[in-house]
């Protein structure tokens, strides 16, 4: 696959900062791979807003810059940024809708707040609006607007985000951020002080288990749709296998978010066999 300078930049960014998605992109058909990597690099840019700004106002300014950058792509005056230029090609080739890209930016405003979602449903809305819609756009590239493929993408992407937030509890706790739903914190009597001190508790583990169970249900929903998705397009959903691996690691430590080991390298041979069979 021959890449432009901008597309090569996206590939390197995703490989360095979002390795699981990078691995899944290796299985994407070559004619769609550059577009998918551009989308993943775009997601990286907006997803790390909270980590690189010192206050919410600066985060809002950064997200607004990206809104204007997306607008520039549809008015024919793209900004000189490698991710923007890579997105220009993806938009032209796959007719990506601007409102979906802007919705991804809007959803990231929630990261600038410190309050946890009120319940598991609200957490799922956040996960679906970010990672879920991102994978739906990937499936748009792969399946030419197949509605079932897009919905499966939303389910897999949502499950990915929920499990990712469960794995990141320790990272977020260090800055007193919480994505565990408020109702689970109350139901299982999770003490925030202990959580922010990185101390495990039976209630915290049960809250994480509830999040993981919801992710597993979403994966089941996505897999139930496989029959309506072209076999080649299913490669975009191989991220589901990555979610399986992370869930297994969380379950192995009794759902203790502070005991989850670093992720192991993805089993490329096994993933190759599963994609060849059309499974995700």
pLDDT in tens, 102-143: 999 999 999 999 899 999 999 999 999 999 999 999 999 999
Q: What angle do CA 115, 63, 48 make, to 5 degrees?
A: 65
If phi over 0 gives left and psi between -120 and 50 gives alpha, with beta otherwise, what is residue 104?
Answer: alpha
Q: Do residue 160 and residue 233 come from a single domain?
A: yes
Say yes or no: 175 and 259 in one domain: yes
> What confidence score (pLDDT) does residue 1 get?
63
Report d(CA 32, CA 238) in Å as an integer: 15
> Are 152 and 255 contained in the same domain?
yes
Same domain, 95 and 135: no
The torsion angle over the Cα atoms of residues 40, 276, 214 and 217, rounded to 10 degrees, is 140
Residue 29 tokens, joined = 């058909």
Q: What is the CATH number of the domain that holds 163?
A: 1.10.600.10
Residues 133 and 260 in one domain: yes
Final residue in a domain of this structure, among 81, 113, 145: 113
Q: If you count them, how many residues does the chain have?
A: 280
Domain boundary among 113, 146, 165: 113
- What distance separates the 2 farthest-apart alpha carbons in the chain? 55
Residue 95 and residue 233 share a domain:
no
pLDDT value, residue 173: 95
- Domain encompassing residue 91: 1-113
Q: Do 35 and 85 belong together in one domain?
A: yes
| Torsion sign over Cα 216, 123, 51, 37 | positive
Q: What is the pLDDT of residues 43-63, one digit of tens each?
A: 999 999 999 998 999 999 999
Residues 6+ apart with CB under 8 A from 274: 238, 241, 280
Answer whether residue 240 shows pLDDT above 70: yes
């Amino acid at each position: 696959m021959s890449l432009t300078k901008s597309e090569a930049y996206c590939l390197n960014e995703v490989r360095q900062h979002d390795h699981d998605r990078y691995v899944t992109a290796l299985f994407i058909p070559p004619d769609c791979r550059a577009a998918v990597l551009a989308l993943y690099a775009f997601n990286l840019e907006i997803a790390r807003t909270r980590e690189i700004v010192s206050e919410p106002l600066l985060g809002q300014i950064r997200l607004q810059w990206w809104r204007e950058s997306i607008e520039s792509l549809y008015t024919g005056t793209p900004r000189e940024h490698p991710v923007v230029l890579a997105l220009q090609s993806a938009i032209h080739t796959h007719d990506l809708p601007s409102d979906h890209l802007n919705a991804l930016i809007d959803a990231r405003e929630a990261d600038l707040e410190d309050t946890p979602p009120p319940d598991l449903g609200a957490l799922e809305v956040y996960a679906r609006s970010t990672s879920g819609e991102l994978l739906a756009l990937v499936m748009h590239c792969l399946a030419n607007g197949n509605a079932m493929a897009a919905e499966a993408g939303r389910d897999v992407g949502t499950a990915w985000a929920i499990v990712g937030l469960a794995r990141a509890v320790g990272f977020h706790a260090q800055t007193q951020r919480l994505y565990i739903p408020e109702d689970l914190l109350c139901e299982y009597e999770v003490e925030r002080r202990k959580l922010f001190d990185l101390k495990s508790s039976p209630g915290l583990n049960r809250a994480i288990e509830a999040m993981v169970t919801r992710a597993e249900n979403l994966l089941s929903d996505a897999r139930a749709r496989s029959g309506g998705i072209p076999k080649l397009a299913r490669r975009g959903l191989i991220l589901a296998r990555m979610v399986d691996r992370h869930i297994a690691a969380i379950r192995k430590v009794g759902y203790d978010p502070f005991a989850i080991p670093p992720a192991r390298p993805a089993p490329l041979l096994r993933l190759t066999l599963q994609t060849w069979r059309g499974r995700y």
